[in-house]
């Protein structure tokens, strides 16, 4: 059979990696797909830039629309990032009857419902394994490998930049700003790191994972998001004293009231495997009712790691070219007419445990006042540590671990504690998850 011709939008890190993997592993890929896969047409913003791949035999252009409208191209691979131009190009490709492979998490999280509906009408596939956790096949695991399970919850380290920063803060006792600057020098963080350190990138990915796990529409605008810029070396040290590590987690949980969707710094028991995922690596822990907890670990970014997922999607698309569109694996795991509108819980209704750190005058009665406030709201203290002040003029530091409680009650407790005449400044709050079999 003739090879399948693909059009590539973007020849940056992932685009170049995709070309390299397709060429280097061409024989193996053909054996798996049943047909060869060849890059016929590729678009890049600046064709004068040197590329880290062999582009011989590939037609090159600076106009991505030329690739999308090329009648020879059967599959469009979108690797340009962003969401407005990418959306326009993907929708045009679908209208032209072409299959699409993308690594663009923002595109899927924000416009996926529209894109998948258009693809369904046209009978084409949109594949997006590379959009979440780089080379880790977590989309396929959720959509196919765990199809016999009712997914109860998932928790993921799905941004390598944030994980690199928190790992260095823990191992080297350094400040957030110092490690962020190093991450930027090493190329792990962008000049504007907001998407990474504020959790927006992770929220895009969590949106996709939750939709596939629970069979709900994509709902990025309902994810509660909190960044890691306020984490201090002291918090990392105190967490370790209690046997925990701080990770920037994306958490999705099905409850009787709805679905929790949240990204925030989280204390995890140090004995958990996911607590020991360090540096720029990613990991996703998934709890299914039949299989129990399963962990997926690997490189969350990088040229060939992400290209691995792109090429895997291409193989799946090529395998499906001769199949009936109605019998393909659904984009979001569940049949399009079977998606359910489970409510997304506001953060105030989420129940979790907490790490609290506060500064207060070192005098009798302070702890009693704090304990009284927590007790009146039904909040139980699981562990507590008090650090003596350096001098009599300095406030003491009190650190507490609480049992699980609704966030709305914790909000009330913190407001009342901060209003005490003995306390100084704001109470630091970091959520805590045990991530056990519950």
For position 1, what pLDDT does the model report?
81
For position 389, what pLDDT does the model report?
78
| Euclidean distance between CA atoms 299 and 137, whole angstroms | 11
Do 130 and 150 share a domain, yes or no? no
For position 324, what pLDDT does the model report?
64
344 in a structural domain = no
CATH code of the domain in which 404 resides:
3.30.70.260
For strands 75-78 and 126-127, give the pairing.
unpaired
Instruction: Report the catalytic residues.
Output: 205
CATH code of the domain in which 35 resides:
3.40.50.720
% the chain with pLDDT above 70: 96
For position 251, what pLDDT does the model report?
98
For position 342, what pLDDT does the model report?
87
Do 80 and 199 share a domain, yes or no? no
For position 436, what pLDDT does the model report?
81
Do 215 and 310 share a domain, yes or no? no
For position 338, what pLDDT does the model report?
67
Do 208 and 310 share a domain, yes or no? no
For position 136, what pLDDT does the model report?
93
Asked if residue 411 lies in contact with residue 246, where contact means CB atoms within 8 angstroms, the answer is: no
For position 24, what pLDDT does the model report?
96
For position 138, what pLDDT does the model report?
96
For position 366, what pLDDT does the model report?
87
For position 334, what pLDDT does the model report?
65
Structure tokens at 44: 């890049």
Q: Which residues of the chain have pLDDT under 70?
A: 322-335, 338, 437-438
For position 391, what pLDDT does the model report?
76
Range of the domain at 356: 350-432
If one counts the domains in the chain, the total is 3
For position 331, what pLDDT does the model report?
64
CB atoms within 10 A of CB 182: 15
438 in a structural domain = no
For position 322, what pLDDT does the model report?
65
């Amino acid at each position: 059979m003739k090879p399948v011709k693909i059009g590539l939008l973007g020849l940056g890190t992932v685009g170049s990696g995709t070309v390299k993997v397709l060429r280097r592993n061409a024989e193996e890929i053909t054996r798996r797909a049943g047909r060869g896969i060849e890059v016929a047409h590729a678009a890049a913003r600046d064709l004068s830039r040197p590329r880290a791949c062999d582009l011989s035999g590939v037609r090159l252009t600076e106009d991505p629309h030329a690739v999308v409208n090329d009648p020879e191209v059967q599959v469009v691979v979108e690797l340009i990032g962003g969401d407005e131009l990418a959306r326009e190009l993907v929708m045009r490709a679908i209208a032209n009857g072409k299959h699409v492979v993308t690594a663009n998490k923002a595109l899927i999280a924000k416009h996926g419902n529209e894109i998948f509906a258009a693809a369904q009408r046209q009978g084409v596939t949109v594949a997006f394994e590379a959009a979440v956790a780089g080379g880790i096949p977590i989309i396929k695991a959720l959509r196919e490998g765990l199809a016999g399970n009712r997914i109860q919850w998932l928790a993921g380290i799905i941004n390598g930049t944030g994980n690199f920063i928190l790992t260095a803060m823990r191992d080297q006792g350094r400040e957030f700003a110092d490690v962020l600057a190093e991450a930027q020098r090493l190329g792990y963080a962008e000049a504007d790191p907001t998407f990474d350190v504020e959790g927006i990138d992770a929220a895009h990915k969590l949106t996709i994972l939750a939709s596939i796990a629970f069979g709900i529409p994509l709902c990025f605008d309902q994810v509660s998001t909190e960044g890691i810029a306020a984490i201090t070396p002291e918090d990392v040290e105190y967490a370790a004293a209690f046997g925990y590590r701080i990770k920037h987690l994306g958490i999705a949980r099905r409850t009787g009231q709805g679905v929790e969707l949240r990204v925030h710094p989280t204390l995890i028991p140090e004995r958990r495997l996911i607590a020991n995922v360090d540096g720029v690596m990613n990991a996703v822990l998934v709890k299914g009712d039949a299989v129990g907890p399963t962990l997926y670990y690997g490189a969350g970014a990088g040229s060939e790691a992400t290209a691995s997922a792109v090429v895997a999607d291409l193989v799946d698309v090529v395998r499906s070219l001769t199949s009936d569109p109605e019998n393909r694996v659904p984009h979001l795991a569940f049949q399009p007419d079977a998606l359910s509108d489970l409510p997304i819980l506001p953060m105030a209704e989420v129940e979790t445990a907490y790490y609290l750190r506060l500064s207060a005058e070192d005098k009798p009665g302070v702890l009693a006042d704090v304990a009284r406030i927590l007790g009146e709201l039904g909040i139980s203290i699981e562990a507590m540590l008090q650090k003596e002040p350096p001098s009599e003029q300095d406030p003491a530091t009190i650190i507490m671990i609480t049992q699980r409680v609704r966030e709305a009650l914790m909000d009330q407790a913190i407001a009342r504690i901060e209003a005490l005449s003995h306390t100084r400044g704001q109470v630091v709050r970091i959520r805590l998850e045990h991530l056990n079999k519950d």
